[in-house]
Structure 1
Amino acid sequence: MPHITRDSLMSLEGYAKVRPEMRAEVMAHKKNRMVELGDHVTLIFEDEKTMRYQIQEMLRAERTFEEAGIQDELDAYNPLVPDGSNWKATMMIQYSDPDARKVALAKLKGIEERVWVQVADQAKVYAIADEDMARENEEKTSAVHFLRFELDATSVAAAKAGSPIRMGIDHEAYKVEPIALAENTRSALVLDLS
């Protein structure tokens, strides 16, 4: 799968001209790549389009046009682009009440490693979490994690052949029984596989 390069990014001026249209396009694109697991966990499966948008937004927000700053953003976000044998997702743990969120994040330590996907009748594939840095401490887990689901060749072939894809969470404080992905989401994720 192609990674985003410096030469493939728009200049700040060029991006400003297309930003409203690009934002609308990416938001619609993300709807097909979003999975809610229970009431408080949402996964957004990233791809080249979502990461390109994120990089362009970061460069815009920080007014970055120097090569070193652009390379820093590429280095930060390119690892979240799937490479053909995996799915990569941003996981968000959301509680609207700050006190409830604090209590929940203390109980949910380790949840990021208990999220799984399953293609057809293959074995569950548990997430490899936060490869860039630890996002958990002695007291709590983070509200945001970055996950990678590494699939074997059999699961990739089954997904591409139209087999169902299920997800769930096996954490003692937050269990989500297997849910089958909607067809629009399943189809979007299959595009990440080569």
Structure 2
Amino acid sequence: MAKQITRDDILSMEAYGAIRRDKAREISAAKRHRRMGIGPDATIYFENYDTMWRQIHEMLFIERGGEAQIDDELEAYNPLIPQGRELVATLMFEIPNRERRQQVLGRLGGVEETVYLHLGDERIAAQAETDVDRTTAEGKASSVHFLHFPFTDAQVRRFSDPETDVVLAIEHPNYAHTAGMPADVRAALAGDFD
């Protein structure tokens, strides 16, 4: 499986436009098995080559930045492609009501440092992307966080064992929630490992 998207993988906007609707349906169907809710406001989306390929093309298609934009998009989204012994995810706090969103995020500073994947009694801490500080000095969290879950070979085997309970957890004092990983999500994510 490819681990990086290169300029050679980028379609012309005309070619992408011709397949855009079909790609949207295809990726939407795949994402159903790569998404989990955690508590009332958080959703985690596990990324891979295909989701990032589409994201880059969507950014190029919508913003129309042409050749000058390609390198920036590759630099932004390639780090979100799993590299063999990790899962990579986008954590989003999706709160439609603006006032409530401000209130909740205002109390979630550092939330990106409190996300864990549990394999039975073993805990894997998420490592947040450090390209941008996602918590303000006042303690307000961003609504979007990019996370890496690094695995050892033994942890990959445990993840793949249907007897192992897999649970995602956010252990922030102001947002403490867990969610068991459904079998369909687990099966889809197992393909992210080499």
TM-score range, shorter chain: over 0.9
Equivalent residue for 1:20?
21
Equivalent residue for 2:177?
176
Residues 1:109 and 2:109 are matched in the alignment: yes
**1:164 Cα offset (Å):** 3.3
Instruction: Measure the CA separation in 2 of the matches of 1:143 and 1:65.
Output: 28
Instruction: Measure the CA separation in 1 of the matches of 2:22 and 2:114.
Output: 37
Name the stretch that deviates more: 90-99 or 22-31: 90-99
- The DSSP-based 3-state class of the residue aligned with 1:131 is coil
Equivalent residue for 2:125?
126
- The DSSP-based 3-state class of the residue aligned with 1:124 is strand
Residues 1:69 and 2:69 are matched in the alignment: yes
Corresponding residue pairs, total: 191
User: Structure 2, unaligned stretches of length 5 or more?
Assistant: none
Letter aligned with residue 15 of structure 1 = Y
**1:135 Cα offset (Å):** 1.2
**RMSD value, Cα:** 1.3
Deviation digits for residues 154-187 of structure 1 (CA, Å, limit 9, x no counterpart):
111222343332111111111113x321111001
Instruction: Measure the CA separation in 2 of the matches of 1:84 and 1:72.
Output: 24
Contact 1:109/1:136, CA 8 A, preserved across alignment: yes
- The DSSP-based 3-state class of the residue aligned with 2:106 is helix
Contact 2:87/2:148, CA 8 A, preserved across alignment: yes
Identity %: 36
**1:14 Cα offset (Å):** 0.6
User: Structure 1, unaligned stretches of length 5 or more?
Assistant: none
**1:119 Cα offset (Å):** 2.1
TM-score scaled by length of structure 1:
0.93
**1:95 Cα offset (Å):** 1.8
Name the stretch that deviates more: 163-172 or 35-44: 163-172
- The DSSP-based 3-state class of the residue aligned with 2:137 is coil
- The DSSP-based 3-state class of the residue aligned with 1:137 is coil
Deviation digits for residues 49-77 of structure 1 (CA, Å, limit 9, x no counterpart):
000000000111122331x4211111110
Matches within 5 A, 1:74-153: 74-121=74-121, 123-139=122-138, 140-153=140-153
TM-score scaled by length of structure 2:
0.93
Equivalent residue for 1:45?
46
Equivalent residue for 2:8?
7
Contact 2:3/2:82, CA 8 A, preserved across alignment: no
Contact 2:91/2:147, CA 8 A, preserved across alignment: yes
Name the stretch that deviates more: 13-22 or 130-139: 130-139
